[in-house]
């Protein structure tokens, strides 16, 4: 599909399917896939490598501002932290547990927003996260809010971990998603919320391909 170079932004809670959908749509329309969650995860990984506590705001601010460059390679499939591919490490459950705390820090968010806009500067981009429709790209050409029931989202995340052989229980995953939702939605800075002009897609009963088709249709209509 040929599209003019524009910015498409997709927000939604954990496990809504937005990462898979965004990645596949990006491939189809040949846009850069910008996964902003991976960037917050990369900061969390870097803090852990440097043994900085997720609660140490001063050290974390210094870290993100001076020693943390995040880029994407392979059209967004790989996340590079200071030039090194860390894509696999970012999915570890311990990063998953700590990322919410680090993502609350305003200075971390400011730096990530700056880096997200830098990455999006020179190409058509399809970005996903919690605040890309509201804060990072408020003027995006097209916005979506993708969601699903908590049970369905927990089931998807549980299956993902099972496939990768990560030990966990369904109840534990469901509980973590519930807590993460609550924290993402209630934090003071850039909470997860639906942008007024976002198209809402509930994926609870939908297959991934149906969601992709829906989005591609909207992009085509917007041309």
Nearer to ligand C5P, 3 or 190 (CB): 190
Nearest-approach distance from CB 32 to ligand C5P, in angstroms: 16
Tokens, residue 58: 């001063």
Nearer to ligand C5P, 41 or 143 (CB): 41
Interface stretch with ligand C5P, choices 65-73, 80-88, 98-106, 214-222 (CB under 6 A): 98-106
Considering only 184, 203, 214, 215, the residue that binds ligand C5P (CB under 6 A) is: 184
Nearest-approach distance from CB 188 to ligand C5P, in angstroms: 12
**Residue whose entry in the numeric block shows the structure tokens 């937005």:** 18
14 binds ligand C5P (CB under 6 A): yes
Name which of 76, 71, 90, 86 is nearest 27 in CA terms: 76
Annotate 16-80 with DSSP letters as a single string: SSHHHHHHHHHHHHT-EEEEHHHHHHHHHHHHHHTT--TT-HHHHHHHHHHH--EEEEGGGTEEE
Site for ligand C5P (CB under 6 A): how many residues? Answer: 14
Interface stretch with ligand C5P, choices 78-86, 125-133, 160-168, 193-201 (CB under 6 A): 125-133
Rounded Cα–Cα distance for residues 16 and 175 (Å): 15
x/- binding map, residues 130-159, to ligand C5P, per CB under 6 A? xxx---------------------------
Considering only 143, 156, 157, 180, the residue that binds ligand C5P (CB under 6 A) is: 180
36 binds ligand C5P (CB under 6 A): yes
Rounded Cα–Cα distance for residues 46 and 27 (Å): 29
Interface stretch with ligand C5P, choices 72-80, 124-132, 159-167, 215-223 (CB under 6 A): 124-132
Q: Identify the three-state secondary structure at position 145.
A: strand
* Longest CA span, the chain: 49
Residue 4 CB-density burial (10 A; 0-12 exposed, 13-18 middle, 19+ buried): exposed
Q: Which residues bind ligand C5P (CB under 6 A)?
A: 14, 36-37, 40-41, 99-100, 103, 129-132, 180, 184
């Amino acid at each position: 599909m040929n599209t003019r170079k524009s910015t498409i932004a997709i927000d939604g809670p954990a496990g809504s399917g937005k990462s898979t959908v965004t990645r596949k749509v990006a491939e189809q329309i040949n846009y850069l896939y910008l996964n902003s969650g991976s960037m917050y995860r990369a900061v969390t990984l870097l803090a852990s490598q440097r043994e900085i506590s997720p609660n140490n705001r001063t050290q974390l601010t210094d870290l993100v501002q001076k020693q943390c460059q995040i880029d994407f390679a392979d059209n967004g499939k790989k996340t590079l932290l200071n030039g090194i591919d860390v894509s696999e490490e970012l999915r570890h459950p311990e990063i998953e547990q700590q990322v919410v705390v680090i993502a609350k820090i305003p200075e971390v968010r400011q730096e990530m927003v700056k880096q997200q806009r830098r990455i999006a500067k020179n190409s058509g981009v399809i970005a996903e996260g919690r605040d890309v429709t509201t804060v990072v790209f408020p003027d995006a050409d097209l916005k979506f809010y993708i969601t699903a029931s908590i049970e369905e989202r927990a089931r998807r995340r549980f299956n993902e971990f099972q496939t990768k052989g990560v030990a966990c229980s369904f109840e534990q995953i469901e509980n973590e998603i519930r807590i993460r939702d609550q924290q993402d939605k209630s934090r003071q800075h850039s909470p997860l919320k639906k942008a007024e002009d976002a198209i809402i897609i509930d994926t609870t009963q939908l297959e991934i391909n149906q969601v992709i088709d829906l989005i591609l249709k909207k992009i085509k209509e917007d041309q």
